[in-house]
Amino acid sequence: MKKILSGLCFLLAIQISAAQLDDKIADRLYESAKVFDELMKAPDGPTTKKVFKDAECVAVIPAVKKAALGIGGTYGRGAIVCRKDNGKGPWGPPSMIALSGGSIGLQLGGTSTDVVMLFMTPETVQKLLKEKVTLGADASAAAGPKGREIAAQTSPTMRAEILTYGRSRGAFAGVSLKGAVLSTDKDANKAIYKKEVVAKDLLITGNVPAPEAARKLLDALTAAGK
């Protein structure tokens, strides 16, 4: 009897743990949608939309934190979404991601920074299929342009594979993420899709149904493209 009760308690603990993870991921997707929508509605939103409309994929990592004193670097979790049909179709299902390393947010002076990344080339999308992508090494990245900077289409910034924005203390600005590492959050993907999924099915073919928790994020991306 004790063994049976112990087994039941163990299964219950697993179910509670899984439910808590599901809630965390749903919250992460909700916050990602909120951050992206607020970037589009910021004072420079109309001009930022011009860059966004050419993006192949968009990653949002809410509340990226600085690591503990003496360790250095930063860490955060979020989601990335790519357009279907070689960048010409609707937005596909999200892949959950983690961002670590670098000096994210230091330029903005805050301890927590919302990060938005725009992936501008088809080649960059292919690089996302790797387990890890180091910004500045595996893919060129630059602080996202704002306002009049967007008109300078020939600038090195506008030729970067990835454009990055950050918000700390209320204002969005271009931030450098050089040295940061972007990786797939496999556990989160497995939890939200209820099975093992590969990056190609989410980011390239987009043939996996998007979870309901991602609806707000997909709606925000679709609305921004109109």
Query: Does residue 173 lie within any of the structural domains?
Result: yes
Q: What is the mean pLDDT of each run of 10 residues along the chain (226 residues)?
A: 46 41 86 94 79 93 70 80 87 94 56 88 88 88 70 57 84 81 92 91 92 95 90
User: Is the residue at 23 inside a domain?
Assistant: no
Strand partners of residue 143:
164
Q: What predicted TM-score, i.e. pTM, was given to this entire model?
A: 0.83
Supply the pLDDT for residue 50: 84
What length is written for the chain?
226
- 106 domain residue, yes or no: yes
The predicted structure's pLDDT at residue 111: 67
How many domains does one find in the chain? 1
CA 178 – CA 139 distance, rounded (Å): 10
Q: Which domain holds residue 146?
A: 28-224
Helix (H) or strand (E) holding 117: strand 112-119
In a domain, 8, yes or no: no
Q: Report pLDDT for 106.
A: 46
Establish if 91 belongs to a structural domain: yes
Residue 22 in domain? no
Residue 166 falls within a domain, yes or no? Answer: yes
Taking Cα atoms as reference points, which of 118, 207, 221 lies closest to residue 160? 118
Helix (H) or strand (E) holding 11: helix 2-40
Query: Considering Cα of 30, then 33, then 36, then 38, what sign does the dihedral take?
Result: negative
12 lies in some domain: no
